[in-house]
Structure 1
Amino acid sequence: MKYLPQRLSLKIKHYFFNTLLFFCFSITIAQNSTSPLPLIIDADTANEVDDLFAIVRAILEPKFNLIGISSAQFHTSPLASNNSVNESQLINKDIIQLMNVKGVSLPLGSNKPLIEYGKPVSSEASRFIIETAHQMEQNQKLNIVVLGSCTNIASAILEDPTIIPKIKIHYIGFWHTPATNIYNKKEFNSSNDPIAVEVLLNTKNLDFNVMTATTSQHLVFTKNEVDTYLKDKKGVAQYLVNRWETYDRWWTKEDLEKEKWIMWDVAIIEALAQPEWSTIKEFTTPPENTQRKINIHTNIDSEKMNIDFWNTLKTL
């Protein structure tokens, strides 16, 4: 067999090298696209009912790498004690124990909201967020789902602004009218730390995504569904049923039998698990804030989210 000309031989070598490089790059992209989403949930779990359902759903989601569940304060609730963050902490511990979950940290958040703009209220939770954010690999972001007040994440940003490019915030809060881009910050989560909300809105280059109360209010569960899928079961299933039945809705006298419940927090968990079920649009921040773009969920497929939730919890 005759030897190939040197120029042709080099071309073949380059071809095989480039093909190998492309193959390796494609494998890396495929691996990254299927890697579990690094996630911290920051929750005022003891405030209501939906937080518990959202946390259980997130624990059962294989697309998530749930790193931690931090506790948040909810001091404006008439049912809250003087240590509302500890109430949330205790329920977080109960859920983890009942589901026998290993490897999920439970850092304690601040029991007080921010009292002055620019000054953080440091806590185990804020420091845990900072530490975890710095552990992210290059081009990877830590996803932080905020189900209550923004105290812990705002404090983390103020304590260490270098985490800003390393994090992506998913917040349940305020009311919003997409057609006119009008914001109403007089909403329960936002009212529990209005200064922290301003921090998130004003922080340039922060990847800030909001599931507003306007949108998430359309995801509603019924007591009949709860009984069908969870009644007469033990463990965390029984825990969820008991929470639904014993928690008093202080903000309304409608539906005293608690036949229905808005699952505000479940909406953002389902949207993260199945992004195609939520429409996200870009909006300019309110006029009183730093003018920049944030992402807002404007519509959800509540029917598909409902079905997916109960199909997932069948495993309990």
Structure 2
Amino acid sequence: MAHSQFPVLPEALRVARLAPPRGPVQCVLDTDTYNEVDDQFALAYALLSPQSLNLQAVYAAPFHNNRSAGPEDGMVKSYAEIQQVIAKMGIAPRDNFVFEGSRSWLIDSNEPVDSPAARDLIKKAMACENEPLYVMTIGAPTNVASALLLEPELVRHIVVVWLGGQPHDWRTAREFNLQQDLFASRILFDSGVPLVQIPCTNVAEHLRVTIPELDAFLGGKNDLGQYLCDIVRGYTKDPFAWSKVIWDISAVAWLINPQWLDSALVHSPTLSSQFTYTQDYTRHLMRVALHLNRDAIFRDLYQKIGCC
């Protein structure tokens, strides 16, 4: 069952859209880049994988934690951090490539938060005629949900690959990306847009690194590699026996090589105001990741960053 304001995709088309992608694919990246330190890895990974990804745009997503004064400040800081990472890679600035996103959360399921990012997503997706535009969403899905509300026909033109939420049998759906914007997260589950969800607990959380490992494989290799080492080192005051989850590279990895992530088609759950899932086997299908190959993903990431 889809949200009433959105077109209903034929289930055969939805299943085809949810099939593991065969690159290269057209894609965009929606990222709360300054939120912690993993989005920087994901942005670099996407930019360094042109054989698999044709990255058409990067959107700054809102966030609110101890690194921002609110969602708008988080989005603005993320926009600046996107530019910083691109500069560290030695890539010349491109016009109409990085866009500011939402400055607030959704206040209900019917009112979008308009932004340059949402408008650009609509423009690029609606121009895709034969193949969908893949939307790698590695923050709160406010920009993507707003674009869907602004243009419901987007359901026919995109596939959302979202790092967010918890496994559907977990005691809670709560997770940073999902819980920041409950209404936006519900739209991903309810609109019928083809959705690939990568949960955090027991899936993306396996993407852990330590400072000695980063120093060994990326330290001193180039400006980007050293920058990534430095921001991870600066993220903790007690690095002894400590590891950092680089969650967000999972969404990029799905598009580069979906065999690195075990996944299954399931019925989309409903998301309650108490941040719990309810299963409803009459609802439309989505894909959810169940496990991933941590070593294969980091091997590919390190090789690409080390040689850039």
Computing the radius of gyration from Cα coordinates, the structure with the larger value is 1
Q: Which amino acid in structure 2 is aligned with residue 129 of structure 1?
A: L
In the TM superposition, residue 35 of structure 1 has moved relative to its aligned partner by 5.7
Matched, 1:55 2:70: no
The alignment of Structure 1 onto Structure 2 pairs a total of residues equal to 273
Matched, 1:66 2:58: no
Q: Within 1, Cα distance between the matches of 2:23 and 2:163?
A: 25
Identity %: 26
In the TM superposition, residue 113 of structure 1 has moved relative to its aligned partner by 0.7
More helix as a share of residues: 1
**Equivalent of 1:167, from 158, 167, 170?**
158
TM-score by length of 1: 0.81
Structure 2 partner of 1:4: none
**Equivalent of 2:195, from 178, 184, 208?**
208
Q: Within 2, Cα distance between the matches of 1:98 and 1:71?
A: 18
Q: Within 1, Cα distance between the matches of 2:162 and 2:53?
A: 17
**CA deviation profile, 1:231-278 (whole Å, cap 9, x unmatched):** 2244222221221122358xxxxx544742111111221222111111
Q: 1:125 to 1:257 in 2, by over 3 A?
A: farther
Superposition pairs of residues 1-316 of structure 1, within 5 angstroms? 36-61=24-49, 62-75=51-64, 77-82=65-70, 83-102=73-92, 103=94, 105-136=97-128, 138-177=129-168, 181-182=169-170, 184-204=172-192, 206-214=193-201, 215-248=203-236, 256-257=239-240, 259-287=242-270, 291-316=283-308
Task: Say what the alpha-carbon RMSD is for the aligned residues.
Answer: 2.0
Unaligned runs of 5+ in 2: 1-20, 272-277
Unaligned runs of 5+ in 1: 1-32, 250-254
Higher relative contact order (CA closer than 8 Å, sequence separation 6+): 2
Q: Which amino acid in structure 2 is aligned with residue 237 of structure 1?
A: G
Q: Within 1, Cα distance between the matches of 2:67 and 2:54?
A: 33
Structure 1 contact 57–309 (Cα < 8 Å) conserved: yes
In the TM superposition, residue 114 of structure 1 has moved relative to its aligned partner by 0.4
**CA deviation profile, 1:73-107 (whole Å, cap 9, x unmatched):** 112x1231241101100010111222233547001
**CA deviation profile, 1:196-246 (whole Å, cap 9, x unmatched):** 001111102x11110110211011112122111222244222221221122
Say which SS state the counterpart of residue 144 (structure 1) adopts: strand
Structure 1 contact 229–313 (Cα < 8 Å) conserved: no
Structure 1 contact 74–80 (Cα < 8 Å) conserved: yes
Q: 1:216 to 1:162 in 2, by over 3 A?
A: same
